Amino acid sequence: MNRPYLKPMGMRKTRRIQDSLFWIILSIFLVFFLFIFFWMFISSFKPNLLIVSDPPVWFFTPTLAHYGEVFERNPFARYLFNSLTIAVSSVGLSLIVGLPAAYSIAKYKQDGLALALLVVRMLPGITFLVPLFIVYKRLGLLDTHAGIVITHILTVLPLIMWVMIGFFEDVPSELLDAALIDGCSQLGTMIRIMIPLSLPGITAVAILSFISSWNNFIFVLILGGSKTMTLPLAVYNFLTYGQVNWGALCAAATVVTLPVLLLALVVQRFLAGGLTMGAIKG
Amino acid sequence: MQRNAGPEPERTGQATNSSRENLVEGENSGPAGREAQYAQPTGLLRRAFALIDRNLAYVLPAPAAIVILLLMGYPFFYTVSLSLQRVNVTMTRFSFVGLENLLEVLTADERFLNAFLITLYFTVASLILELVLAMIMALVLNRTFRGLGVIRTLFLLPLVATPTATSVIWLIMMEPSIGILNHFLEVAGLPRSLWVAGDTSVVPSLVWINAWHGVPFVMLILLAGLRSLPTEPFEAARIDGASKLQEFFQITLPLLKGAIVVAMLFRAIDTLKVFDAIWIMTAGGPGRRSETLHIYSYLTAFEFYDLGYGSAVILVFMVIILVISAVLIRLRQRAWL
């Protein structure tokens, strides 16, 4: 049907001009939005003398010295471990608690609970931080992994529930009714039908909430310390303590950002859906 | 309902269960139905399971509700009560002062007013910039081409990248004397900027960074909106000889109203709450030129350790967020009617 060779000459030409124009504009956008990552990445391999040169140097012999500084002179491996364990545990716990609740809100149309959830999602973390700080200090939870995981649940749980309500609502109710008629229990329909059918959504939300926990800064800034130092806080300390070493800073920033960027690229199929689901629905 | 009435729930349980089993037996003839019956656990376990199964609407959300109440409800009321107290720096003396803190925040605190105005400036400027940029991008991307998925994901990277790390890199790039952004400005023949170090350039610089972070999200929602638009109005407009510009302002924009309001709602909430980028890049400076409500809340509570007054500031900050969100939610409901 759409055979370009059947179209008159002029139309084909404008089409090609339009196409190349489109790609040019798109490339400008991409450079605009992604330049910072490129700059961070190449600066992390640049010898210190060249980093501060003006005009900037684009070609150089890469060095691993900055990564050496990050991993050898600072316990970045431990910070990495902290970030990872805190993110995985808070996401795991929130999934266990949040999925049934999200299912219930979607299935039984518990709009009151949904509204409460929306309010919770809107509030900034600092609303809860003063009391938590006092309570933690009394209970000895400051600078403990358990304490930090609990606070991360504060942001991760509402996120998981909010996005999953939308996904659960999308599963056609006929499937559930069919399972019920076949003698499946209510709980059984959730575990055997709803959860498997929503697996792409669950993957998406798990990754999104992993990223949100990984990126979190303010909780560990206030309630954490040297034992629970996560990567974002470590990067921040790089900036504030001692003289600023740009190369090492770029290397540290790369170490924090790269896992998230790679994760986003690997699961790109689910990502856009997960990000917009919470906004468009509900 | 009558949990300790003994036989009562059992009977009702059996009633519903047996009716379902009848249904099952009615549907599946003979052996299959009996097999299903044998597979059910018996006795107490079965009754407990049936009880849970019938009350799933309460059982399923209960753990989450408890967690939320414990982690957020309790601290919330604690914050309210703290805002009515004066707390000394070592947190050993708490004295009740009534509404004194709140009144001071609302009527006598110039620093709070400054923070409020800066938050407003930062948020409104961010939203406008994000909407315009995202709209242009969504209109450009609103076509099918090879590699759409990959390109869309690439645009999402600013959204997921760790704000702490990107703020640090922005800070390096915006360095006034040797930063690369000033180099670009010079190449383009524009004057150098002080970026976040300048009194007047600090908020626009932060707005720029916030927009860089938020535009992809707005674009995603607008793109989804654009793709779901009906084609008839556009065909009609083309027949009537409308220009592309007319088409956009008179058809696309009104039809996209719902998507726009939703995107702005979520971005407004997020922008009011921005902390990481501002704290890392300026910590509210130079002077108090970029001290937003979130930064001021943090400073009073966790730098000056004035927990009572800090709680009052946080409470007012929270109310402001809730009011703005409520207005936007109303707008959204109206936009979709």
Q: What is the dihedral of CA A157, A159, A165, A168, to 10 degrees?
A: -90
Tell me the shortest Cα–Cα distance from A89 to chain B, in angstroms: 15
B67 near A116, Cβ under 8 Å? no
- Which of A117, A215, A239 has its CB closest to that of B168? A239
Is residue A63 over pLDDT 70? yes
Q: List pLDDT tens digits, range A88-117.
A: 999 999 999 999 888 888 888 888 888 888
Contacts of B310 in chain A (CB under 8 A): 130
Beta bridge mates, B94? B87
Decide: pTM greater than 0.90.
no
- How many CB contacts within 8 angstroms connect chain A with chain B? 266
Q: What is the pLDDT of residue B27?
A: 40
Secondary structure (DSSP) of B8-22 = HHHHHHHHHHHHHHH
Stretch B201-212: mean pLDDT, rounded? 93
Q: What is the pLDDT of residue B229?
A: 85
- Which of B82, B91, B220 has its CB closest to that of A272? B220
Query: Which of B:21-60 have CB within 8 Å of A?
Result: 21, 23-24, 27-28, 33, 36, 49, 52-54, 56-57, 59-60
Any idea where the domains of chain A sit in the sequence?
4-65, 69-280
Question: Nearest residue of B to residue A273 by CA position?
Answer: B220
Q: What is the pLDDT of residue A9?
A: 56
pLDDT band for position B20 (50/70/90)?
A: very low
Stretch B298-326: mean pLDDT, rounded? 89
pLDDT band for position A278 (50/70/90)?
A: low
For residue A189, give the DSSP letter: I
Interface test with A, best of B68, B270, B311 (most A CBs within 10 A): B68
Stretch A155-175: mean pLDDT, rounded? 84
Tell me the shortest Cα–Cα distance from A74 to chain B, in angstroms: 17
pLDDT band for position A226 (50/70/90)?
A: confident
Contacts of B46 in chain A (CB under 8 A): none
Query: Does B152 sit within 8 Å of A261, measured CB to CB?
Result: no
Q: Which residue has the higher pLDDT, A231 or A1?
A: A231
CA distance A107 to B185: 55
For residue B119, give the DSSP letter: H
Most confident of A154-168, A234-248, B39-53: A154-168
- Which of B64, B72, B153 has its CB closest to that of A268? B153
Query: Does A154 sit within 8 Å of B72, measured CB to CB?
Result: yes
Was domain A69-280 assigned CATH 3.20.20.80?
A: no
Q: List pLDDT tens digits, range B90-143.
A: 777 777 887 888 888 888 888 999 999 999 999 999 999 999 999 999 998 888
Q: List pLDDT tens digits, range B224-272.
A: 888 888 888 888 888 888 888 888 888 888 888 888 988 898 899 889 9
Mean predicted lDDT score pLDDT of chain A:
83
Question: Nearest residue of A to residue B139 by CA position?
Answer: A22
Q: What is the pLDDT of residue B1?
A: 37
Question: Nearest residue of A to residue B306 by CA position?
Answer: A130
Tell me the shortest Cα–Cα distance from A120 to chain B, in angstroms: 8
Q: What is the pLDDT of residue A11?
A: 64
Q: List pLDDT tens digits, range A14-45.
A: 778 888 888 888 899 899 899 999 999 988 88
- A48 contact B CB<8A: no
Q: Which of B151, B224, B228, B225 is nearest to A268 (CA)?
A: B151
**In this prediction, what percent of chain B has a pLDDT beyond 70?**
87
Asked if residue A55 has a cis previous peptide bond (ω within 30° of 0), the answer is yes
Tell me the shortest Cα–Cα distance from A156 to chain B, in angstroms: 11
Is residue B29 over pLDDT 80? no
pLDDT band for position A145 (50/70/90)?
A: very high
- Of A202-206, B11-15, B30-34, the poorest mean pLDDT is in B11-15
pLDDT band for position A82 (50/70/90)?
A: very high
Query: Which of A:166-185 have CB within 8 Å of B?
Result: 181-183, 185
Q: Are β-strands B85-87 and B94-96 bridged in parallel, bridged antiparallel, or unpaired?
A: antiparallel
Name the packing angle between helices A76-107 and A246-266 (round to 10°). 30
Task: ipTM value, please give it.
Answer: 0.86
Contacts of B165 in chain A (CB under 8 A): 40, 232, 235, 252-254, 256-257
Is residue A213 over pLDDT 70? yes
- A148 contact B CB<8A: no
